[in-house]
Amino acid sequence: MAKKTTTHETFEKYFDAQEKKHIRELVAVALDEDIGTGDVTTRSIIPAKAQAKARLLAKQKGIVCGLPLAEIALSVKTRKYKITWHAGDGESVKPGQVLAEIEGPAVSLLEVERVLLNYLQRLSGIATLTRQFVEAVKPHKAAIMDTRKTTPLCRILEKYAVCIGGGKNHRFGLYDQVLIKDNHIDVAGGIEEAIRRVRRKNSELLIEVEARTLDEVKRAIRFRPEIILLDNMTPAQMKKAVAFVQGKAQLEASGGVNLKTVAKIAATGVDRISIGALTHSAPAMDLSLKIQVDSENK
């Protein structure tokens, strides 16, 4: 049976029971997409009862994330596996570092290899990029936030990776926070009317409103939204917005943010910086799974 360790403490705390069930279903569907009726190559070459050992390796420097998915993926295919962990989510790893050693049926290890690595490389890439942004804004107070620009059906995992990298989660979907954007404002006929309509129907939800100009910031603050999003403003404009609002609402910078500009944006005094690139443009971290079939089973 799988060896339980404290390696997955953050994973266990982040997700509730329903979310863990969803993740298992997600991994199972991904495996079904890849394996289909069976891995014809592996099953033609490897005896069905063959046992194997594998090492999960980092091939570049970065922040590793998603390791608990190894147990989830393997458990979909077999109960007869053992994992010895040498790293945990959120750890900084270096090239050649062994993250885990796995023992189990050779066929199962080979069948889950690609899907497992796809998840781990993707999530580790997001965590690594997020950590770079978090480090870049020190010592300023601005929190690095994600967005809804995520891979369809993988949002729950990608937002987890942002947290592992030291960032914070923005709203998860259209249901858990009000965000009045430019299209809403234009259709409603202005910021004031858009906020009035929201207040009438969603008084219990957090309200954030997008402002494209300093004038819109001044108009929005009269209605006391919890957050004002400064959309594509210059650092000079952001400084003026911070001075005007004086803490009456949190200010979030968005648009044109990258590793070269983020420190200057944070220095304006904004509370939050949302960055779509954390999840839509993070380069995958290079990992590998080296599998060795027991000699007597070859």
Residue 188 has pLDDT above 90, yes or no: yes
Which residue out of 34, 231, 239, 240 is catalytically annotated?
Answer: 231
Which residue out of 53, 55, 149, 219 is catalytically annotated?
Answer: 149
CATH annotation of 135-280: 3.20.20.70
Which residue out of 55, 59, 168, 181 is catalytically annotated?
Answer: 181
Would you call 89 a catalytic residue per the annotation? no
Would you call 82 a catalytic residue per the annotation? no
pLDDT for the residue numbered 297: 60
Which residue out of 53, 114, 148, 199 is catalytically annotated?
Answer: 114
Residue 20 has pLDDT above 50, yes or no: yes
- The reply to whether 135-280 shares the fold of 6-127+283-297 is no
What is the pLDDT of the chain when averaged over all its residues? 94
Which residue out of 39, 89, 210, 252 is catalytically annotated?
Answer: 210
pLDDT for the residue numbered 202: 81
pLDDT tens-place string over residues 233-263: 999 999 999 999 999 999 999 998 999 999 9
Would you call 138 a catalytic residue per the annotation? no
pLDDT for the residue numbered 1: 36
Residues near 41 by beta carbon (within 8 Å), at least 6 away in sequence:
none
With CA atoms as reference, report the closest residue to 237 among 262, 211, 208, 209.
211
Q: How far apart, in whole angstroms, are the C-alpha atoms of residue 176 and residue 44?
A: 49
Would you call 114 a catalytic residue per the annotation? yes
Would you call 248 a catalytic residue per the annotation? no
Could you confirm whether domain 6-127+283-297 is CATH 3.90.1170.20?
A: yes
pLDDT tens-place string over residues 52-93: 999 999 999 999 999 999 999 999 999 999 999 999 999 999
Q: What are the structural domain ranges in the chain? A: 6-127+283-297, 135-280
**Span 267-278, average pLDDT:** 98
